Amino acid sequence: MFTFDTEQKVFSIGNVKVGGQPGENPPLIIPSLFQKGDPCVESRRERKFNKVLATEQIKRLEELTELTGMPAIVAMVANSGDEMKGYIDFFVAATNMPFAIDMWNLEPRLDATRYVSELGLQDKLLYNSVTVWSPDVPAEVEQIKELGIKHVVTVVMDMANQLPSGRISALDDMLEKMKPGNFESIIVDTSVMNLPSTGICALSNRLVKEKYGLPAGAASANGTYMWQKAVWKENLAGWGEKAFIGLDAGTQAATIALWGDFIFSGPMWGNDHIFPAVAAAHAMVSTMRYAETGALTANESAPVYKLFPDFVKTLKGEA
């Protein structure tokens, strides 16, 4: 159940890795920065943001990656290429972590990507993303190939068939269209449409790994924050903030426990509850894989080593 016969690809994006057999490598956490409602953003129109607060959030993220062993890539959100350029300049001066540009509209996203290319930062960029909704996937692929982009997220979905089989058929088509890009890394986002559909994404992730061995995951935060808006804030405010934190942590941990290599985890403020929950989930998967195969992951950065060293010694007969 937790070991695939298909060879599992492991990609390096900047200084982080993603992919492999379940329980093998630490999962990749991709939180958002400068998204709508982020207190760091003071004025998009005037390109003003709170660099002190943003730096504090980045440093806390670095602490959490060190504590848990789980790597992170920050997905920065902007409305225009010029706005994103300012964020990129700030980010690369503040940290050595890789980053993603999270922009829905193609032209601003390409504008920001050109800037990344001009700076020679292609090794550190996760292009987010080439989607099934792109008006011309081959043209987009050609443009980012010319800019030297190496690492790409592809988002797969079939609105006529929203079961896992639809996502796989969409991936078949996307991978064919993306072949000319000759990208070093392609990670697959299986499209969370709402909170319950996270379960469909989990099964889709398993099928992606079975068929292609590619790293698979989802934007679990899309589902949890939709629930927060539709249910918690508007209809049942009595749930309280603790209810949302528990729901968010549990949903995102489940995504990793059920064949997820990565998650788009939502705003940076959630890191303090998401990291421990996901680390615990991954440690459980590592031990389930051990029970199935008799082998514990050799990656000593995995959460099971970082957080449960005494148990690891017991499993290895060293205690």
List Cβ neighbours of 269 (8 Å cut-off, separation of 6 or more): 57
Token pair 């959460």 is found at 303
Binned at pLDDT 50, 70 and 90, residue 2 comes out as confident
User: Which tokens hold the place of 154?
Assistant: 């592809």
Instruction: Give per-residue pLDDT as tens, 37-50.
Output: 999 999 988 889 99
Q: Give how many domains the chain has, as a whole number.
A: 1
Whether 188 is covered by a domain: the verdict is yes
Distance between CA atoms of residues 94 and 220, nearest Å: 27
Whether 124 is covered by a domain: the verdict is yes
List Cβ neighbours of 93 (8 Å cut-off, separation of 6 or more): none
Whether 46 is covered by a domain: the verdict is yes
Domain that holds residue 105: 10-315
Whether 5 is covered by a domain: the verdict is no
Mean pLDDT (the chain, rounded): 94
Whether 284 is covered by a domain: the verdict is yes
Binned at pLDDT 50, 70 and 90, residue 266 comes out as very high
Binned at pLDDT 50, 70 and 90, residue 230 comes out as low
Whether 4 is covered by a domain: the verdict is no
Whether 2 is covered by a domain: the verdict is no
DSSP 202-233: HHHHHHHHHHT---EEE-HHHHHHHHIIIIII
Q: Among 283, 215, 219, which residue's Cα sits nearest to residue 19?
A: 215
CATH number of the domain at 138, please.
3.20.20.20
Q: What was the pLDDT predicted at 201?
A: 97
In the three-class reduction of DSSP (H, G, I as helix; E, B as strand; rest coil), residue 16 is classed as strand
Instruction: Give per-residue pLDDT as tens, 68-98.
Output: 999 999 999 999 999 999 999 999 999 999 9
Q: Among 259, 278, 271, 254, which residue's Cα sits nearest to residue 209?
A: 259
Q: What was the pLDDT predicted at 233?
A: 56
Q: What was the pLDDT predicted at 227?
A: 80
